[in-house]
Amino acid sequence: MADSIKPPLPNISRRHFIKSASVATAALATTPLMAATFGNVASENNATNTAQPSMTMKQLAEKMEHRHWPKYNDVTVVDALSLTFDLSKNQFNETTLSQIANSGVSAIHATVTYPGANFEKTVASIAKIKKLIRDHHHVFCEANSIEEIEKAKHCGKVAVIMGFQSAEMLVDSHNEVKFERIPLFSNLGIRVMQLTYNRRSPFGDGSLVNISRGITKLGVQAIEVMEDSNVLVDLSHASKKTIQTSIKHCKKPIAITHTGCSSIYCHPRNTDDEELRAVAKCGGVVGIYAMPFLAGGTAPITADNFIQHIDHAINVCGEDHVGIGTDQSLIPVVDDQQYQATIKEELKQRKAAGISAPGETDERPLYIPDLNHERRMELIAWHLAKKGYKDARIEKVLGANFMRLFGEVWS
């Protein structure tokens, strides 16, 4: 085979790192990608946070009493990348299920398995998520269409959109790509697929590859089969060149479900304006994440940092092409000593495995403290309204843009 994939990685992906650390807390919460400082590549114009106290959950709860967006309960809210499902632990209990149900989120895109999982493990993970949805059917339902998301909204449930963030499950033990697995997984309910994670895949290069070759011939084939199978192509974690070359071969709109803006803060997981415009030009949507790659320094990322990236993306892409993919759980983080100790240990494992992103550190919160609430998306809406955004624009960012994209690609 002309393009091969590396052997499966140890099962401590970015998401597993965050999830396994979070379930060690009292609330069994999950969080976004670990903290990062990447100042060595940041320009003078990059946002940098200086030391400042972070908001406690109690303080945020008190402020939340006055931070509402009147239309929140009436609109469809989509988190285009959520860490709410952790297959390694049973994180759902009466408290956490209540938090999820109260989130006001209509749909989440949930990663089915971790980078490194082969075909068999991936099929097993799909079965486990489906069972979790059935076991908690009063809170969740599976979604394969926008009609099912709309029904979930009407019933007060959270629709679960299953997706992949890597390509190992599409490769056999001989490193041969099995394109027939794409429609198979589509029939099993996978609605979103990334071409690559941080590293190189048979389809293209990830954002941490030093010299990117862009999309490969196999990647071009994969896009064609994904589109024919009504699967949304997700270019999150892809390198600049992979994004550029992939879009040229897409006939349907694509997404970058979770990223930031390089013009605000230069980091390999953030996206340049040129690529943001290209996504918008093809009718796609960019989701802004709530992770520590939004600003430099070691102080906690703030809601203002997050809104700055939303605002920049809208200025570049237009208001019809920007959404939210938090890369966090719907369950708020309980940041206690046990949680912090687990984070330190997992970080060591990720570094030892060679899969950590540049600048990852345990010296910064892994989440945005002043958005660490089950009604996080309403807090975001409140901040956007405070900035002067009209209701129609806020509704698009909260979910309407991704709903439009899902409808165009899945039908």
pLDDT of residue 293: 92
Contact 398, 381 (CB under 8 A): yes
pLDDT of residue 356: 73
pLDDT of residue 230: 98
Domains of the chain: which residue ranges?
A: 14-39+53-410
Backbone dihedral region for residue 354 (phi beyond 0: left; psi -120 to 50: alpha; all else: beta): left
Where does residue 134 rank: exposed (0-12), middle (13-18), buried (19+ CB within 10 A)? exposed
Distance CA 272, CA 31 (A): 25
DSSP letter at 233?
E
Distance CA 188, CA 229 (A): 11
Q: CATH assignment of 14-39+53-410?
A: 3.20.20.140
Task: List all residues 6 or more positions away from 135 whose beta carbon is below 8 Å from its beta carbon.
Answer: none
Distance CA 403, CA 146 (A): 7
pTM score of the predicted model: 0.88
Distance CA 363, CA 340 (A): 10
Q: Collect the ranges in the chain with pLDDT lower than 70.
A: 1-46, 50-54, 350, 353-355, 358-360
pLDDT of residue 350: 67
- How many residues in total does the chain contain? 411
Task: List all residues 6 or more positions away from 236 whose beta carbon is below 8 Å from its beta carbon.
Answer: 81, 165, 194, 255, 256, 257, 258, 259, 325
Contact 37, 359 (CB under 8 A): yes
Distance CA 207, CA 212 (A): 8
Distance CA 327, CA 70 (A): 25
